[in-house]
Amino acid sequence: MALSEDPPPRDNAAGEVPEMDRSLSFETFWNWLVGHPNCILRAGTDDVALFDDDDFFWHFTTSPEGERVVEVLRGKRLVGELIIDPQRVSYVQPMESEQPDEYPFELVAADGDDRQVAYFFVLSHAFDEERGQLRQRVH
């Protein structure tokens, strides 16, 4: 996946994204995401994608090593999982969508000037940066 915007500046030791930027820290995004499992349309990497279905539900957990685990389940059966290394994610970038009612988020890994999308999520609503809440598109 190609990045369409420049990365946010880093100006603190914790690696947090400045409030004036559209980007989110991974922790801010993750904490918001776990409260909206029914809003995920798909998630994945460049190599694999997990898609939502009426028979599936999304489950979140943290491994003993601190990795974030996103599971897609059908009943008690695991359909697929995405394991996210939060140390690899420099920031989360909300993106403009090419489809109506889809709100993509790119989890970007930055190393110097090299940036790549490590993971992505597409949700049915946007993140409201000012309140950390839902923002529904008005038609």
pTM of the prediction?
0.77
What percentage of the chain carries pLDDT values higher than 70? Answer: 76
Q: What per-residue confidence (pLDDT) applies to 3?
A: 43
Question: What b/e sequence results for 82-110 when a residue is b if at least 16 CB atoms lie within 10 Å of its CB, and e otherwise?
Answer: bebeeebbbbbbbbeeeeeebbbbbbbbb
Q: pLDDT tens for residues 46-103?
A: 999 999 999 999 999 999 999 999 999 999 999 999 999 999 999 999 999 888 899 9
Model pLDDT, residue 22: 81
What is the average pLDDT score of the chain?
82
Query: CATH: 2.40.10, 2.30.29, 3.30.930, 2.60.40. Which one for 26-122?
Result: 2.30.29
Tokens 């029914």 locate to 38
pLDDT for 112 beyond 60: yes
Q: What are the residue boundaries of the structural domains of the chain, listed by start?
A: 26-122
Distance between CA atoms of residues 80 and 45, nearest Å: 13
Rounded-to-5 percentages of helix, strand, coil across the chain: 10, 40, 50
